[in-house]
Amino acid sequence: MLKGSIVALITPMHDDGRVDYESLERLVEFHIEQGTSAIVAVGTTGESATLPVDDHIEVVRQVVKYANGRIAVVGGNGANATAEAVELTEKLNPLGIDAMLGVTPYYNKPSPKGLIAHYKAVAAATDVPQILYNVPGRTALDMPLETVAELSQVNNIIAIKEATGDVSRVAKLRELCGDDFLLYSGDDATAMEFLLAGGDGVISVANNIVPAQFQAMCQAALSGDAQKAAELDAPMRGLYKQLFVEANPIPVKWAAHRMGLIPGGLLRLPLTELEQQHHAVVLNAMRQANIEVNS
């Protein structure tokens, strides 16, 4: 299955909020050229919260079309209503994606019993491999390790994206879930340490703008070369902080625009473009990471 650097892909927008499919195709080509391991289409960074179902499915469909088998594609299927998550799953089923990524239901804070029932219902709606996604900073819910362990016994639940930043969870999850259950970091700032601790990959925001560098760091860490991984990681550490100076994906879309990857840093409301006061710090972090920036 997928290992290494996986991009949580941004969704480019036109001025009127429509998806910019021409730019989306360029982004897919960019990641293929740069050696990214896989693409997550319409996860949190892809603005899943503000894309209605029809747009959500169409973006994933087009990413699969543009990828044309040259890079693995993961489709986001998370929702805070189980029925909606099942609907997304059923509509993603025929698209030819390699896996689906489902965030824990947000805002309503289900119990472990509710989480297990939710994910089992989603998994039962498909044969496509499922990746759990634990991101308490956004959902107000931290999935217990024991819940992950129980869900790892479901045949097509094959991995978890852990965005807690707690590297100690790697060893605990490995012990509870076994060697075949894949562990992905969802926290760029601790990604290197996560991989060196035995993780399998990273679903990354920074990878949108430093794909080759981030992949090189991941491969060094996966091979156990801590010194090389640290050397490769060091120039990107400013990005890991400053790409979250406002809510993701606001800063990374602005950065992608400054690189010429997309024509603007436009987002769907209620998210708005990066505030002027944050431009300099993001720009400085980009330059520290040796990114060429348009004037």
User: What residue spans define the domains of the chain?
Assistant: 4-233
First to last CA, the chain: 40
Catalytic residue selected from 66, 133, 184, 240 = 133
Strand 201-204 relative to strand 182-185, pairing: parallel
Mention every residue, 6+ apart, whose C-beta is less than 8 A from residue 280: none
In CATH, what class is 4-233?
alpha beta
203 among annotated binding-site residues: yes
Of how many residues is the chain composed?
Answer: 295
What are 251's two structure tokens?
């800063």
Whether 228 is catalytic: no
What was the pLDDT predicted at 295? 62
Give the Cβ contact number of residue 66 at 10 Å: 20
For residues 271 and 262, what is the distance between their CA atoms, to the nearest angstrom? Answer: 17
- CB of 240 within 8 A of CB of 209? no
Each residue's pLDDT expressed in tens, for the chain with a length of 295 residues: 689 999 999 999 999 989 999 999 999 999 999 999 999 999 999 999 999 999 999 999 999 999 999 999 999 999 999 999 999 999 999 999 999 999 999 999 999 999 999 999 999 999 999 999 999 999 999 999 999 999 999 999 999 999 999 999 999 999 999 999 999 999 999 999 999 999 999 999 999 999 999 999 999 999 999 999 999 999 999 999 999 999 999 999 999 999 999 998 899 999 999 999 999 999 999 999 999 887 6
For residues 195 and 184, what is the distance between their CA atoms, to the nearest angstrom? Answer: 8
Whether 133 is catalytic: yes
Catalytic residue selected from 66, 106, 119, 161 = 161
